[in-house]
Amino acid sequence: MNKQRNEISRERIFDAIRAAAPTVTADVKAIQNEALEILGESEFARPALLAEDAAEALTLRIEAGLVIGTSCEKIASLDQLPDSVNQFLAKYALPAELKVQEIERLKALNWDGITTEVDIKNDNTVGLCWAEYGIAETGTFVVHSGPDMPILLNFLPLYLLAVIPKSKILPYMDDYALIAGEIAQRGETPRNMCLISGVSGTTDIEGVLIQGAHGPEVLHIIIVEDQ
Amino acid sequence: MQANKPENFYQNVKDALAQPDLKMIIRRTTDKAEAKRAEAIANFPGFENARKQGQKVKDHTIKYMDHYLAEFEKNALAQGTIIHWASTAEEASKIVLDICRQHEAKKVTRSKSMLGEEIGLSHALDNSGIERVETDLAEHIIQLAGDPPSHIVWPAMHRSREDVIKLFREYHKDPTYSEEIIDLVRSARRDLRTKFLTADIGISGSNFLLADSGSSCTVTNEGNAELTITPPKVHIVTAGIEKLVPSMAHAVPLLRLLTRSATGGEITQYITFHNGPKRQNDADGPEECHIVLVDNGRTKMLADGMEEMLRCIRCGACMNHCVVYKHIGGHAYGSVYPGPMGSVLTPHLNSLEVANKQTHACTLNGRCEEVCPVNIPLPKLLRSLRAQSWDKKYEPLTNRFVVKAFAALAKRPKLFQLVSSCGVIFMRLCSRQGWIKSMPLAGGWTRNRDLIEPESKTFMQQYKAMKKAKSDGA
């Protein structure tokens, strides 16, 4: 019954569209070319980056305070990450414990003196995640859901550290969209692709910006230069 | 607060104007949004090009809507999403409720969706006995207050901090006794956290639907969409069919326009593309994903030559810049969509017969069109609705009489001049010290503001005198 109702509504909608715009049936290739032509205009319709180098542009954007609640630092190699994490925890007077994303390259680091397993369902926790990409235009890091990337790791902790490999920092959102298109072509699209540009914020009470509405209040981006 | 009805627009406006603080509360947010938008656009020299590109993306998708809808359906199904089609609001609501019942859901979380409001989902869920938890902070506030939304971006902008303090103290389990805004936000964080994690179903809207991948996209600053969608076993998306774009690359220019136009930010903190249910072995995520594609008047807009309105990306810039909205607020419109965009949309979602008065609540100053990120000619569309309303005889008899009388006068220049010179004399008799505080037949104007005294001669009298003086001089 529901299936039948669904089919009827579907047909009704398509019939109404075709009746309203009888010229819609066109050759698919022509539609694709028209769509591609629009993308050709992006070069003149996007903001200038703060530096030519994408990693530098992303850093400058964060340092200029343009990414809400976010700080950043560069480290030469991944083995320096535990030191950076320690400094971050000390800066905010936090206990030496956080949830480290369970991927081999992070787990393999020397975490002596730091607990790397906490329940992020509790509030006031710290999370550390590995970003797939960075985007200079918007000061963004991108995460993809997967067996070793719980999406909630980026949303439940009050403090979040995100590691971005320098080589994966893209200039514009358009560049990430192209990569996402290629991933889709390979049939490997993850369930979630999250573009995160700052901390959880709200202006819903008297227009005043408050950080840490539901998710992180503080975000620290660590760019790893040799990755 | 009971939702106002669109057909009672004039009474709604009177009630809104009688609220002493409403205008101040509205302007606190809209003026800030206006200033921040201006700043964001000043910092983005390519904004005009971006607007043209954004408009082209939407026009292209609307032109080939049947193609892109079919593409979207095919690709979403391939991701494992279950697709539902709804011609009307009632159908859409019923589909969502049926899914909830199938899963014996006791508690659902919702991230803000104007489409959800449009199809009456809040009421449908409440009436079915399912616990509904609004997770956007503003929606949380108005849910506690029992209010309808008053703005599409800041639905609780009509509520002051004092209102929020009272509501949170009354309803939160572990309320704050501080009056600081940060403590109020923390109180909501505490209250909502366990609800996020224990909901049976998460319901969201979608800012964009990507045809080439079958993805839905949510855009928030709070991150509540991901927290709504990820923990429960089932994710339901409700989306209007006009949310389609060909691909993620086509959504990018619209994302650049959306945040700058809505809040004056450069980008929202969270943009997430949702692609069906969780994959095998995924660490978290819903096991089932449904998308309800809703028409509810959109194909009628296409048929009625109002397709430009389908470009709308729901940024709210038109209402932030509207002189009428800033005086009366959102509730007076009696619709989910207030302001200029709402005055065009509501007659299609409801009917022109009940929502024709809103089309006249516009000075046609053109600000809404100037700031629209996708160049929707809102004044033109409003004028067209006014004409339709006239043709269908929806205007009150007094209005029709006055317009017809004016037309008759305007066609007879001598009579027009005689009547207007009598009018000037009459108005000057009513005037005191350069201002008219009250005058017969002008109560609609003078009730809320004074009218300036006219010149002693009509335009034509002055023009003739000037012409005569010139010829005498020559």
* CB-CB under 8 Å, A195 with B60: no
CB hemisphere CA count around B316 (13 angstroms): 27
Is there a contact between A97 and A86 (Cβ–Cβ < 8 Å)?
Answer: no
Residue A20 touches chain B, beta carbons under 8 Å:
yes
Q: Which residues contact B446 (CB under 8 A, 6 or more apart)?
A: B436, B437, B438, B439
* Min Cα–Cα distance to chain A from B369, Å: 20
* CB-CB under 8 Å, A173 with B273: no
Whether residue A24 is predicted with pLDDT greater than 60 in this model: the reply is no
Distance CA A158, CA A124 (A): 5
Among the three residues B252, B281, B299, which one is the final residue of a domain in this structure? B299
B412's tokens: 């007879």
Whether residue A196 is predicted with pLDDT greater than 80 in this model: the reply is yes
Local structure of residue B292 (DSSP, 8 states): E
Whether residue A1 is predicted with pLDDT greater than 90 in this model: the reply is no
Residue A115 touches chain B, beta carbons under 8 Å:
no
Residue A19 touches chain B, beta carbons under 8 Å:
yes
Exposed (0-12), middle (13-18) or buried (19+): which is B232, by Cβ within 10 Å?
buried
3-state DSSP call for residue B395? coil
Q: Which residues on B lie below 8 Å from A25 (Cβ)?
A: 66-67
Place of tokens 């790893």: A224
Closest among B142, B179, B120, B158 to B12, alpha carbons compared: B158
Exposed (0-12), middle (13-18) or buried (19+): which is A181, by Cβ within 10 Å?
middle
Q: Can you identify the CATH homologous superfamily of domain A48-224? A: NagB/RpiA/CoA transferase-like (3.40.50.10420)
Report the pLDDT value the prediction gives residue B474, as an integer from 0 to 100.
66
Distance CA B199, CA B277 (A): 16
Q: For testing the chain A interface, which of B90, B185, B290 should be mutated: the one with the most A CBs within 10 Å?
A: B185
Place of tokens 């205008």: B23
Report the pLDDT value the prediction gives residue A7, as an integer from 0 to 100.
93
3-state DSSP call for residue B472? helix
Report the pLDDT value the prediction gives residue B2, as an integer from 0 to 100.
72
Are B106 and B243 part of one and the same domain?
A: yes
Residue B383 inside a domain? The answer is no
Q: For testing the chain B interface, which of A214, A217, A219, A221 should be mutated: the one with the most B CBs within 10 Å?
A: A214
Q: Which amino acid is at B172?
A: H
Are B117 and B261 part of one and the same domain?
A: yes
pLDDT digit of tens for each residue in chain B (474 aa)? 778 899 999 999 999 999 988 999 999 899 999 999 999 999 999 999 999 999 999 999 999 999 999 999 999 999 999 999 999 999 999 999 999 999 999 999 999 999 999 999 999 999 999 999 999 999 999 999 999 999 999 999 999 899 999 999 999 988 888 999 999 999 999 999 999 999 999 999 999 999 999 999 999 999 999 999 999 999 999 999 999 999 999 999 999 999 999 999 999 999 999 999 999 999 999 999 999 999 999 999 999 999 999 999 999 999 999 999 999 999 999 999 999 999 999 999 889 999 999 999 999 999 999 999 999 999 999 999 999 999 999 988 988 999 999 999 999 999 999 999 999 999 999 999 999 999 988 888 888 789 999 999 999 899 999 999 999 886
- Give me the CATH number covering residue B239: 3.40.50.10420
Are B411 and B274 part of one and the same domain?
A: no
First to last CA, chain B: 70
Q: Which domain holds residue B78?
A: 37-299
Distance CA B28, CA B135 (A): 24
Q: In which band, very low, low, confident or very high, does the pLDDT at A22 lie, cut at 50, 70 and 90?
A: low
Are B76 and B212 part of one and the same domain?
A: yes
DSSP letters, A29-76, are: HHHHHHHHHHHTTGGGSSPPPSSSSHHHHHHHHHHTT-STTEEEEEES
**By 3-state DSSP, what share of chain B in percent is helix, strand and coil, each rounded to 5?**
55, 10, 35
Asked whether the CA dihedral A51, A54, A56, A59 is positive or negative, the reply is positive
Are B141 and B282 part of one and the same domain?
A: yes
Distance CA B124, CA B109 (A): 14
Q: Which residues on B lie below 8 Å from A140 (Cβ)?
A: 267
Which helix (H) or strand (E) element contains residue B244?
A: strand B244-245
For chain B, how many structural domains are there in total?
A: 2
Distance CA A185, CA B131 (A): 40
Are B411 and B295 part of one and the same domain?
A: no
Q: Which residues on A lie below 8 Å from B160 (Cβ)?
A: 206
Residue range A57-87, pLDDT digits in tens: 999 999 999 999 999 999 999 999 999 999 9
Distance CA B132, CA B153 (A): 20
Pairing status of strand B270-274 against strand B131-134: unpaired
- Nearest 5°: the CA angle A202, A125, A132 is 75
Whether residue A119 is predicted with pLDDT greater than 70 in this model: the reply is yes
Whether residue A122 is predicted with pLDDT greater than 80 in this model: the reply is yes
Among the three residues B237, B267, B299, which one is the final residue of a domain in this structure? B299
CATH 3.40.50.10420, chain A: domain bounds: 48-224
Report the pLDDT value the prediction gives residue A3, as an integer from 0 to 100.
81
Among the three residues B299, B321, B351, which one is the final residue of a domain in this structure? B299
B450's tokens: 């004074």
Are B293 and B428 part of one and the same domain?
A: no
Report the pLDDT value the prediction gives residue B399, as an integer from 0 to 100.
87
Pairing status of strand A192-196 against strand B270-274: antiparallel
Distance CA A218, CA A20 (A): 50
Report the pLDDT value the prediction gives residue B445, as an integer from 0 to 100.
83
Are B120 and B241 part of one and the same domain?
A: yes
Indicate the pTM of the whole model. Answer: 0.93
Is there a contact between B376 and B369 (Cβ–Cβ < 8 Å)?
Answer: yes
Residue B264 inside a domain? The answer is yes
A218-224 sheet: strands from edge to edge: A70-75, A218-224, A159-165, A126-130, A99-100
Closest among B431, B436, B440 to B449, alpha carbons compared: B436
Closest among A69, A215, A125, A207 to B135, alpha carbons compared: A215
